[in-house]
Chains A and B, each alone.
Chain A
Amino acid sequence: MALLDIRGLQTWFDTRAGTVKAVNGVNLSIQPGETLALVGESGSGKSVTAYSVLRLIEAAGGRIAGGEVLFKGTDLLKLDAAGIRAVRGNRIAMIFQEPLSALNPVQSIGTQIVEALRLHRDIGLRAARERAVELLELVRMPSPRERAEEFPHRLSGGMRQRAMIAIALACEPELLIADEPTTALDVTTQAQILALLRELQQRLGMAMLLITHDLGVVAEIADRVAVMYAGRVVEEGAVGALFDRPAHPYTRGLLDAVRIEALPPGSRLPEIPGIVPSLLDLPPGCAFAPRCGRASAICQAELPALRAIGVGRRHACCHPHLEPVPA
């Protein structure tokens, strides 16, 4: 059974201008121990999908309009407030993009880890403090015992992200949601944090939902990828297969945009023409059709469903690319 199974998720924001359908029928599943990368440009709904899993969307003014989020068979959307609190941080944890703003500025990081532990575990203060130091050691924090006493603003960006990972891992979650965990870090630190996440994930056997727009990060640590466009998953598959044979024209456009070393010097950089459609006013057919070179009348008329093309490979396109990317 899948660890997490998202079925037909719809998350909408009611605004004065109308209903923004940020997530509009997303289907995803994550197996235990697997890393699924959710990619897409800003506004494609990847973060909203992740926040919907933990039901953190009401605070942002949104509502979950439909669908199911099954975590080991339990629909998280149907749990009461205490039920969902018992899942948050305990069985599903989350790390954020900007560690400085996600850490409480007036508590030492040790205290914040202790807090996370004692929310879900019946553990004494002294034992929790010891465990906090162990966790900081686990995330390779230099001199963890001293760092536990430090306040977030006294740490470097990489150390803050390590502290946040330690908080997230406090209760040994089965699923870690990482919302662009390396975007705010410099390149060397990025590589270290990615290596750390990969190592911890293998060691603790947890699954990871990685939200990113960086295809390099995806290639490095993900097992599978789901590409989102305008609130829907348009293509999904194992990293290698999807990168070699992107079927959806949007995926192909994204990959072309980063494969620039193959281009002859001086040539124009490839781009996807047009802009992302407004989520307030989506076209009736395929949302990518207005920007797509392969679009035909049927693309404008009806919404293509996700269809399977081999094991674990799905796409939502009426005119998919079938040939591999030229090497």
Chain B
Amino acid sequence: MSASAQPGLLWRLSVNRSAAGGAVLLALILALAIIGPLLWPGDPWEMAAPPMLWPGEDMANPLGTDVMGRDLAAGLVSGARVSLMIGLVSTLIAAGIGTLFGALGGFYGGSVDAVLMRVTELFQTVPSFVLAVVLVAVFRPSVATAVLAIGIVSWPATARLVRAQFLLLREREFVLAGETIGMGTPRLILTQILPNALPPVIAMSTLTIAHAIQTEAALSFLGLGDPNVMSWGTIIGGGREQLAEAWYVCGLPGIAVVVTVLAFNLLGEGLNDALNPHLQRR
């Protein structure tokens, strides 16, 4: 029965190994992003020490410095904030657009659905990274354009999921019962269908965050990130010329991206299991 989405959710998440693992990793990354600037208060762009210090060589710069002598620890902490923020905000945008398209298409069906789904397919057929690059390049690269571009290329999957949910749920009797007590369409959508459609959307959105973080790193690597913001992709891009002599400059932020994406993927998969009533007894 799909009735029992809410109670015991936290408990089910805590016994779900991948969800618990993802949540712990994520908590560590979040803690780093929040308290990191207190430990390494310097500007990540400041040339604070001799260049190309290896990690551990000088305890003032525990993770070493890059080719310009910028402290990598400060850079990584700044990157964590940028990545999490861009991941979250762009996913909110994607979830918003996707839910709007999917909800309207799934609820009304017919020609409304046909038009909205053709638009969705249009976005799906264009390679999303290329579209993001074009969008950022057309406007001036900044955090805002990166967030918008990533949001705009990430919504089609959410739209399809929400549409499928709405197609199923609008046939359910409690929606008819809502109509019977005199609810209008907006109220039916917002109070009856949407809350029941959300659990899988939340699970999928964690995966969308992971993908958004990768996309942001890739954009920054290509030099399309905000030139005033030190993100993981910026550090990797800056270190690629010295890959042979100082692999750690690319390696450390690379590991940070991998760990963060892994954390979101684990959490998303765990949420999916915990929120999907049909898989509960696995």
Out of A59, A87, A153, name the residue touching B182 (CB < 8 Å). Answer: A87
Which residue of B1, B3, B195 has the most chain A CB atoms within 10 A of its CB atom? B3
- Nearest CB in chain B: distance from A109 CB, A: 12
- Taking the complex as formed, is B184 at the interface, i.e. its CB lies under 8 A from any CB of chain A? yes
Out of B7, B179, B191, name the residue touching A151 (CB < 8 Å). Answer: B7
Name B181's closest neighbour in chain A (CB-CB): A89
Q: Are A119 and B179 in contact (CB under 8 A)?
A: no
Among A96-104, A228-236, A290-298, the one that faces the other chain is: A96-104
Among B37-45, B90-98, B168-176, B266-274, the one that faces the other chain is: B168-176
- Taking the complex as formed, is A140 at the interface, i.e. its CB lies under 8 A from any CB of chain B? no
- Residues in A with CB closer than 8 Å to B195 are 104, 106-107
Name A170's closest neighbour in chain B (CB-CB): B181
Please measure, in the bound complex, the distance between the C-alpha atom of A310 and the C-alpha atom of B173, giving whole angstroms.
Answer: 41
- Taking the complex as formed, is B133 at the interface, i.e. its CB lies under 8 A from any CB of chain A? no
- Taking the complex as formed, is A94 at the interface, i.e. its CB lies under 8 A from any CB of chain B? yes
- Nearest CB in chain A: distance from B9 CB, A: 12
Q: Are A56 and B180 in contact (CB under 8 A)?
A: yes
Report the count of interface residues on A (CB-CB < 8 A): 34
Q: Are B180 and A54 in contact (CB under 8 A)?
A: yes
- Residues in B with CB closer than 8 Å to A81 are 184
Which residue of A54, A85, A86, A90 has the most chain B CB atoms within 10 A of its CB atom? A85
Name A87's closest neighbour in chain B (CB-CB): B182
Q: Are B182 and A104 in contact (CB under 8 A)?
A: no
Q: Are A98 and B6 in contact (CB under 8 A)?
A: no
- Taking the complex as formed, is A115 at the interface, i.e. its CB lies under 8 A from any CB of chain B? yes
Q: Are B5 and A106 in contact (CB under 8 A)?
A: yes
Q: Are A105 and B182 in contact (CB under 8 A)?
A: no
Q: Are A103 and B177 in contact (CB under 8 A)?
A: yes
- Nearest CB in chain B: distance from A128 CB, A: 14
- Residues in A with CB closer than 8 Å to B5 are 105-106
- Taking the complex as formed, is B183 at the interface, i.e. its CB lies under 8 A from any CB of chain A? yes
Q: Sorted from nearest, which 4 A-B pairs have the closest CB atoms?
A: A89-B181, A153-B3, A88-B182, A89-B182
Q: Are B182 and A106 in contact (CB under 8 A)?
A: no
- Residues in A with CB closer than 8 Å to B1 are 100, 153
Out of A85, A107, A167, name the residue touching B191 (CB < 8 Å). Answer: A107
Out of A56, A104, A152, A170, name the residue touching B196 (CB < 8 Å). Answer: A104
- Residues in B with CB closer than 8 Å to A170 are 181
With A106-B196, A107-B195 in contact, do A101 and B173 touch (Cβ < 8 Å)? yes
Please measure, in the bound complex, the distance between the C-alpha atom of A93 and the C-alpha atom of B191, giving whole angstroms.
Answer: 19
List A105-134 residues whose CB lies under 8 Å from chain B: 105-107, 115-116, 119-120
- Taking the complex as formed, is B2 at the interface, i.e. its CB lies under 8 A from any CB of chain A? yes
- Residues in A with CB closer than 8 Å to B187 are 119
Hey, what's the 0/1 contact readout for A130-160 against B, CB within 8 Å counting as 1? 0000000000000000000001111000000
- Residues in B with CB closer than 8 Å to A54 are 180
Q: Are B181 and A116 in contact (CB under 8 A)?
A: yes
List B178-205 residues whose CB lies under 8 Å from chain A: 178-184, 187, 191-192, 195-196
- Nearest CB in chain B: distance from A80 CB, A: 12
List B1-57 residues whose CB lies under 8 Å from chain A: 1-7
- Residues in A with CB closer than 8 Å to B173 are 96, 98, 101-102
Out of B177, B184, B191, B192, name the residue touching A96 (CB < 8 Å). Answer: B177
Can you show 16 pairs from A to B with CB atoms below 8 A apart? Answer: A85-B184, A88-B181, A96-B177, A101-B172, A102-B177, A103-B174, A104-B178, A106-B6, A107-B191, A115-B191, A119-B183, A151-B3, A151-B6, A151-B7, A154-B7, A167-B181
Q: Are A93 and B181 in contact (CB under 8 A)?
A: yes
- Residues in A with CB closer than 8 Å to B3 are 100, 105, 151-153
- Residues in A with CB closer than 8 Å to B181 are 88-89, 93, 115-116, 119, 167-168, 170
- Residues in B with CB closer than 8 Å to A86 are 182
Please measure, in the bound complex, the distance between the C-alpha atom of A88 and the C-alpha atom of B179, giving whole angstroms.
Answer: 8
With A86-B182, A105-B5, A106-B5 in contact, do A59 and B192 touch (Cβ < 8 Å)? no
Please measure, in the bound complex, the distance between the C-alpha atom of A168 and the C-alpha atom of B6, giving whole angstroms.
Answer: 25
Please measure, in the bound complex, the distance between the C-alpha atom of A98 and the C-alpha atom of B3, giving whole angstroms.
Answer: 14
Please measure, in the bound complex, the distance between the C-alpha atom of A92 and the C-alpha atom of B194, giving whole angstroms.
Answer: 26
Q: Are A59 and B179 in contact (CB under 8 A)?
A: yes
- Residues in A with CB closer than 8 Å to B7 are 151, 154
Out of B174, B179, B191, name the residue touching A105 (CB < 8 Å). Answer: B174
With A100-B3, A106-B6 in contact, do A88 and B180 touch (Cβ < 8 Å)? yes
- Nearest CB in chain B: distance from A230 CB, A: 25
Q: Are A153 and B178 in contact (CB under 8 A)?
A: no
- Residues in B with CB closer than 8 Å to A107 are 191, 195
With A96-B173, A98-B173, A115-B191 in contact, do A105 and B2 touch (Cβ < 8 Å)? yes
- Nearest CB in chain B: distance from A160 CB, A: 11
Please measure, in the bound complex, the distance between the C-alpha atom of A243 and the C-alpha atom of B192, giving whole angstroms.
Answer: 43
Please measure, in the bound complex, the distance between the C-alpha atom of A167 and the C-alpha atom of B196, giving whole angstroms.
Answer: 20
- Residues in B with CB closer than 8 Å to A119 are 181-183, 187
Name B197's closest neighbour in chain A (CB-CB): A106
- Residues in B with CB closer than 8 Å to A100 are 1, 3
Q: Are B182 and A56 in contact (CB under 8 A)?
A: no
- Residues in B with CB closer than 8 Å to A116 are 181
Please measure, in the bound complex, the distance between the C-alpha atom of A170 and the C-alpha atom of B177, giving whole angstroms.
Answer: 14
Which residue of B7, B180, B184, B195 has the most chain A CB atoms within 10 A of its CB atom? B180
Hey, what's the 0/1 contact readout for A72-90 against B, CB within 8 Å counting as 1? 0000000001000111111
